[in-house]
Structure 1
Amino acid sequence: MGFGGLLTAGGAAAGVLGKDLVMPSTAQAASATGALSLPAGSQVDGLTVPSFAPSGRRPRYRRATWSQQFQKGHGWSIGGSGTASSSPDDTEVFTRGTQSARATTTGAGAQSYIRKSALPAMNLTGKMLRLIFRVENVDHLSKMVFYLGSGGFKDTFSWRFHSHSKTAANYVQSGEWVTVHLQWADVAAASGAYALSSTGKPSVQNGFTDLSFAVYDDGAGKVTYNLQAVEVVPDTTTKFPKGVVSITFDDSHQSIHDLGRPVMDELGMPGTIYNIADAIGTGTFLTIDEMRSLQDSSGWEMAGHSYANSAHTASYAKLTAEQVDEDFRRLREWLVANGFTSEHFAYPHGAFQKTTDGVPVDLLAARHFTTARSIISETIESFAPAMPYRLKALTGINDGSGIGGTTLAKVIGPGGQLDRCAESGDWLILCLHKLTAGPPKTSTEISQAGLGKLLKEIEKRDIEVLTVQEAMTYYA
């Protein structure tokens, strides 16, 4: 059965269980609408009503200053050698108005596009692009690229905003409407008269007349996609002209306190720790007192990563919806009971796909937390986040040699993520794990000296350092 109203536990707001989130239940089928007041511990569709639900400080929706919503008469063309069939007016699949634009690829790996040229010239200074689209089945999806240009695409900037993985968690999943923000920090390439500087800054940000949304399959099968909107929305350069960095740590390692905190305290920079409740006070993990000291004395954020060690090890995508929801509930209760105010979460192993019984993990996260962070870094995160339960973060940052991950030099070097963040005023979320006194041995480690170097480079660029909780208060 499915409930589509406000659920309250003991008279307090306890989240919304959406109409489309139908959970398996052994109880007799039934339905209900409207406000339901339920005692804490009650169950709906096999899930316990949360004792503590998100406060409601969700990201504000940023209204478009220009919008193409692909309603009748939109005038965009669908083509490319990779297009097998199309409909500019698909009235069967849409999320706005009464239709969207649809195309199916050939299965040969060539470009399929939905595009428009000779538009009135656009000035995108202080702006970002918002795309809303859907891929019916991602099994044969390879990549998605957006082209912005002029002169009939003679001069272009391009964003490769999604490369599909066969093994890792993907921002784009089958049958879901997806929202992506394209910022100047994420421009991948330039052609014609357009160029990118050594720090990744585009040579021009106005005079654009050509827009193209392109999809490539993997050459082994067809892909059907729908495009619902291409929009221009304000970015955040007026508030954070040099951008924001959030330094996050997963897994509650003791080294965060012993080696990371002294370096960050010296520069007055706070961090966000995504904690495993089961691990606290054991072995080489933080204690409750250390967590409280970090929060109360240094302004750090104590967020959630999982309640049970076993849930973290397995990852939520390998559990049932009931098991995942119960771990979320116990984690949130544990955080509140111990005096930690964060309503933010990071997925174990970055996995937010569907549970073993078919429920999207990010929908379950929304019952308990205000945001949830992934380890996807195809583009830098934005204000407000395009999808707050799929926050993007760059992980594996280390100063080792030959151990994989993301080299520190790539982050702090010319044209790296810090330069691009500072040039474009965006939100760069960094995901770290364990610190070492000497050289790191795995991609989930960074040395204390390496962290210090990273922080000095952030300071040198005058980039604001905020916890995830602090960053979200500006746009909630």
Structure 2
Amino acid sequence: MGAPGRAVSPPGPPPPYAPSGRRPQNRRATWSQQFQASHGWSAGGAGTASAEANDATRFVRGTQAVRVTTNGTGKQSYVRRSGMTAMDLTGKTIRLLFRVDDVANLSRMVFYLGSGSFGNHFSWTFHVHSKTAANCVRSGEWVTVHLQWADVRSASGTYAISADGEPSTTTGFTDVSFAVHDDAAGPVTHRLRAVELVPDTSDVFPKGVVSLAFDDSHRSIHDPARPVMDSSGFPGTSYNIADAIGTGNFMTVEQMRSMQNFSGREVGGHAYANAAHTAGYPQLTAEQADEDFRRLRERLVPNGFTSEHFAYPHGAFRKTSDGVPVDLIASRHFTTARSIISETIESFAPADPYRLKSLTGITDGTGIGGTPLTRLTEDGGRLDRCAESGDRLILCLHRIVDGTPRTSTEIGTAGLTTLMREIADRDIPVVTVEEAMAHYE
């Protein structure tokens, strides 16, 4: 039987401040294709070299999965079925469970939902593989991905997406396809284990929900950002570097405690040592990473900061230098860990609480990279899609400046004020990461 891809054990005895175990519930599927015998789906496409519809060599549920190997041409390779009984996806999230044996030649992954033998369809490009940045898809792991209506970007045939991001229909679907493209430099073997429908976030938050995250302990999170946040009445989650607290341009313990006690700010972890934050945990050994996590909790908890939520430096959760997954080590110390992957937005419950997705580098500057604030606030932008589809959006910010932002990790007080106003105008609730997770304890 195929393993989930995290067989390597983290080092050391249980930490003194282990997480409480408040993991989110796995939402039960309202419809599920498990790819057992006689499942009726086919594998093919111009990019397919070989396929096995009933492959029993790798699986993580049941007794088999569908295996497809691409031919190295960059063309589409798929697992699909058409002409099914029409499905209603109103208020639903699509849950995929799949594996890529080796991601070295992976290019992108796309999901299609349609009718009329795909003459009409919506599509989600839910993963574009990076050679350098963090990826939610890694070699040999069974990966769970959630696709929501707020993520759909393309429509064809009679289907359309409105200016504010709303799909023209969410029902009547008879055709489903899971497609993979290699990079035309070599083949990729992928295995599809489940396609399911689960309730989306809208049954809890009809107008969607936002979590505001602030990384790195910068003093600007306290001033000038705190007055802007206080005037909006919005909470936030601050992810802190313990070694930096009280030094240079970083917050003091007293400022952090004041924000927690009087402004509803959650105080989470980002690293203990500045050096670990700068390098990133994948550059450390498993023992070094585990020690940094341990020291981080031992610094925060005695000071009254009991949040069990963490953000990876640089969003990196790859394996340590000696081969232990960083997110596995994080699970010894924290209830969730956040990345900066934003191909799809986050969901309730999250597909993986140790790979929470977020939109980062939000700035009102120009020509400095990052995520332009207008991408959130424009018609059909992220906030419209969040409100229209009732989904979850985690927004990550770093430094707040009084003047003009000069780097992609800065946003002006004017921009932050605009962001708060735009969220409020759409009547989107704002919750901390802990509050969000509490809905699914």
Q: TM-score per shorter chain, which class?
A: over 0.9
For residue 163 of structure 1, what is the aligned residue in structure 2? 128
CA deviation map 1:120-152 (0-9, x unaligned): 000110111000000000010000000000011
For residue 181 of structure 1, what is the aligned residue in structure 2? 146
The answer to whether 1:422 aligns with 2:409 is no
Q: Distance in 2 between matches of 1:139 and 1:310?
A: 30
Tell me if the contact between 2:201 and 2:392 (Cα under 8 Å) persists in the aligned partners. no
Which residue of 318, 323, 332 maps to 2:297? 332
Q: Distance in 2 between matches of 1:339 and 1:152?
A: 58
CA deviation map 1:289-336 (0-9, x unaligned): 000000000100000000111100100010000000111111112111
Describe how 1:260-275 pairs up with structure 2 within 5 A.
Answer: 260-275=225-240
Q: Distance in 1 between matches of 2:178 and 2:298?
A: 44
Tell me if the contact between 1:393 and 1:430 (Cα under 8 Å) persists in the aligned partners. yes
Tell me if the contact between 1:345 and 1:373 (Cα under 8 Å) persists in the aligned partners. yes
For residue 451 of structure 1, what is the aligned residue in structure 2? 416
Which residue of 166, 189, 202 maps to 1:237? 202
* Alpha-carbon offset, residue 224 of structure 1: 0.2
Query: Which amino acid is the alignment partner of residue 176 of structure 1?
Result: E
Secondary structure class of the residue paired with 1:322: helix
For residue 287 of structure 1, what is the aligned residue in structure 2? 252
Q: Distance in 2 between matches of 1:143 and 1:274?
A: 31
For residue 70 of structure 1, what is the aligned residue in structure 2? 35
CA deviation map 1:72-126 (0-9, x unaligned): 1111010000000010011010000010000000100000000000110001101
Q: Distance in 1 between matches of 2:388 and 2:137?
A: 27
For residue 8 of structure 2, what is the aligned residue in structure 1? 21
Query: Which amino acid is the alignment partner of residue 237 of structure 2?
Result: T
Runs of 4+, deviation exceeding 6 Å: none
TM-score, scaled to structure 1: 0.91
Secondary structure class of the residue paired with 2:414: helix
Describe how 1:40-119 pairs up with structure 2 within 5 A.
Answer: 46-119=11-84
Compare relative contact order (CA 8 Å, sep 6+) and give the higher one, 1 or 2.
2
The answer to whether 1:123 aligns with 2:88 is yes
* Alpha-carbon offset, residue 19 of structure 1: 8.5
Secondary structure class of the residue paired with 1:391: coil
For residue 107 of structure 2, what is the aligned residue in structure 1? 142
CA deviation map 1:358-391 (0-9, x unaligned): 0010011111100000000000100000011000
Secondary structure class of the residue paired with 2:277: helix
Tell me if the contact between 2:360 and 2:370 (Cα under 8 Å) persists in the aligned partners. yes
Query: Which amino acid is the alignment partner of residue 174 of structure 1?
Result: S
For residue 189 of structure 2, what is the aligned residue in structure 1? 224
For residue 412 of structure 1, what is the aligned residue in structure 2? 377
Secondary structure class of the residue paired with 2:222: helix
Tell me if the contact between 1:54 and 1:370 (Cα under 8 Å) persists in the aligned partners. yes
Please, which runs of 5 or more residues in structure 2 have no aligned partner?
Answer: none
CA deviation map 1:277-299 (0-9, x unaligned): 00000000000000000000010
* Alpha-carbon offset, residue 202 of structure 1: 0.3
Query: Which amino acid is the alignment partner of residue 20 of structure 1?
Result: A
Identity of aligned residues (%): 68
* Alpha-carbon offset, residue 341 of structure 1: 1.9
Q: Please report the RMSD computed on the Cα atoms of aligned residues, expressed in angstroms.
A: 1.0
Tell me if the contact between 2:49 and 2:71 (Cα under 8 Å) persists in the aligned partners. yes
Q: Distance in 2 between matches of 1:340 and 1:199?
A: 39
The answer to whether 1:201 aligns with 2:188 is no
Query: Which amino acid is the alignment partner of residue 272 of structure 2?
Result: Y
Tell me if the contact between 1:47 and 1:326 (Cα under 8 Å) persists in the aligned partners. no
Tell me if the contact between 1:48 and 1:326 (Cα under 8 Å) persists in the aligned partners. no
Query: Which amino acid is the alignment partner of residue 394 of structure 2?
Result: I
Q: Distance in 2 between matches of 1:335 and 1:206?
A: 48
Please, which runs of 5 or more residues in structure 1 have no aligned partner?
Answer: 1-17, 24-45
* Alpha-carbon offset, residue 401 of structure 1: 1.1
Query: Which amino acid is the alignment partner of residue 240 of structure 1?
Result: F
